[in-house]
């Protein structure tokens, strides 16, 4: 017969961790291409949570890129889109809705003050082209911030940069023709005017830059 103390002791059931049977421990946590491992759930509104990168640095290092051939372009109305598995976007912790006037909405100088040098981005661009299997002219492709610097995108997080091929109608050898730049500028204007929030703009361009303005009702 159990003693009085034993009868009162709580019974603890050890349940198996569902879904972790045979799980590779190395797959849990952040990867080499995720320097911060943080996400900003408040910056979503809808869709995936956007990762938070390391933010502006005094000295940038060349970042590890996805494996060769592991990334694949998508197209919407013939416009090139990034692979969301390789380039989901990442935002800078230095830019928030509360400090817009002192960061992205201040008059001049913000993006140029945080942009990595061409020495760093030039090396990353060549590596990322291999990740995406891009074989066209490097002169005609842009190493692009998915969430632009003027929208608070992280300057050098590999999750926020991709080799963007030229859009339809491009003349070979003429350099990048990037209609995404126009979208970025209109979103920046809307954020600084208060007609949309920083989080909504970031989410819209990370989801599909070609439909970002329409999704937010911006002309």
Domain residue spans of the chain: 48-216
- Banded model confidence at residue 142, pLDDT cuts 50, 70, 90: very high
Residue whose C-alpha is closest to residue 146's, from 132, 121, 163 = 163
On the question of pLDDT at 5 being above 60, the answer is: no
Higher pLDDT: 167 or 79? It is 79
Percent of the chain residues past pLDDT 90, beyond the cut? 68
Does the global pTM surpass 0.75?
A: yes
Interval 143-151 mean pLDDT? 98
**How many whole angstroms separate alpha carbon 147 and alpha carbon 131?**
19
pLDDT at 16: 35
The lowest-confidence range among 1-5, 84-88, 124-128, 171-175 is 1-5
Contact between 187 and 212 under an 8 Å Cβ cutoff? The reply is yes
- Banded model confidence at residue 219, pLDDT cuts 50, 70, 90: confident
């Amino acid at each position: 017969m159990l003693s009085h103390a034993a009868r009162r002791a709580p019974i603890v059931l050890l349940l198996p961790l569902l879904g972790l049977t045979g799980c590779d421990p190395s797959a849990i946590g952040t990867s080499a291409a995720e320097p911060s491992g943080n996400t900003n759930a408040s910056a979503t509104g809808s869709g995936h949570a956007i990762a938070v990168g390391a933010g502006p640095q005094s000295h940038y290092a060349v970042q590890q890129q996805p494996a060769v051939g592991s990334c694949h372009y998508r197209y919407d109305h013939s416009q090139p889109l990034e692979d969301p598995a390789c380039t989901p976007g990442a935002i800078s912790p230095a830019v928030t809705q509360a400090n817009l006037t002192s960061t992205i909405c201040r008059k001049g100088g913000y993006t140029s003050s945080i942009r990595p040098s061409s020495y760093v981005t030039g090396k990353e661009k060549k590596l990322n082209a291999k990740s995406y299997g891009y074989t066209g002219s490097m002169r005609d492709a842009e190493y692009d911030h998915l969430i632009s610097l003027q929208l608070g995108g992280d300057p050098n997080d590999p999750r926020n940069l991709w080799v963007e091929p030229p859009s339809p109608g491009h003349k070979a050898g003429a350099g990048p023709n990037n209609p995404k730049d126009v979208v970025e500028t209109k979103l920046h204007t809307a954020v600084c005017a208060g007609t949309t929030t920083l989080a909504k703009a970031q989410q819209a361009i990370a989801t599909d830059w070609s439909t970002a303005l329409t999704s937010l009702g911006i002309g």
